[in-house]
Amino acid sequence: ADERFFVVDAVKPRPAGDVLEVAAASGRFTHFLEAAEATGFAGTLRGPGPFTVFAPTDAAIRALPEGEWERLTHPRNRERLLALLAYHVVAERITADSANGVTRPETAGGYRLTLDGRDGLRVNDELVVVQDMQAANGVLHGLNALLTPPVMVAALPASAD
């Protein structure tokens, strides 16, 4: 008997597309894409890049405490949401293979992430669950977590708006 195993990716993103088109084609990042459009950050991510986007999957957004995503995406919190999105983007092309050891690249928001490529790829100790989705202007990685900039973590408990 011929016992071959095939792994078939159900989604074939167009590698000629930008990081947002690749994210949309995958079907796993609808909340991230909506937030990028709502804040105007999508315009930046359609640019020439190169960008590495560590995007939270829809599963990551669904795992947030009830009401948290709605609060973050409320129009009055646009600047906070923009800072949150910018914390998920690095202005260089980083693949799972190129992330050797531990590095601290600067995000579009000015803060640094901790990347660890020693055993899989981790960002701030969160495992990258979807790696190396290539785009014309960069690469997209999926996380089952929402990364939070240090300044936001400090501000969240006091924020009752």
pLDDT in tens, 113-139: 999 999 889 999 999 999 999 999 999
User: What pLDDT is stored for residue 24 in this prediction?
Assistant: 96
Task: Answer positive or negative: Cα dihedral of 98, 15, 138, 69.
Answer: negative
Mean of all residue pLDDT scores within the chain: 86
Which parts of the chain have pLDDT scores under 50? 5-14, 154-161
Cβ atoms of 45 and 51 within 8 Å: the answer is yes
**What's the CA gap between 148 and 156, in Å, rounded?**
10
Residue 3 has a pLDDT of 53
pTM over 0.85: no
Predicted pLDDT at 41: 95
pLDDT reported for residue 152: 56
Length of the chain (residues): 161
Q: Are strands 51-56 and 138-143 parallel, antiparallel or unpaired?
A: parallel
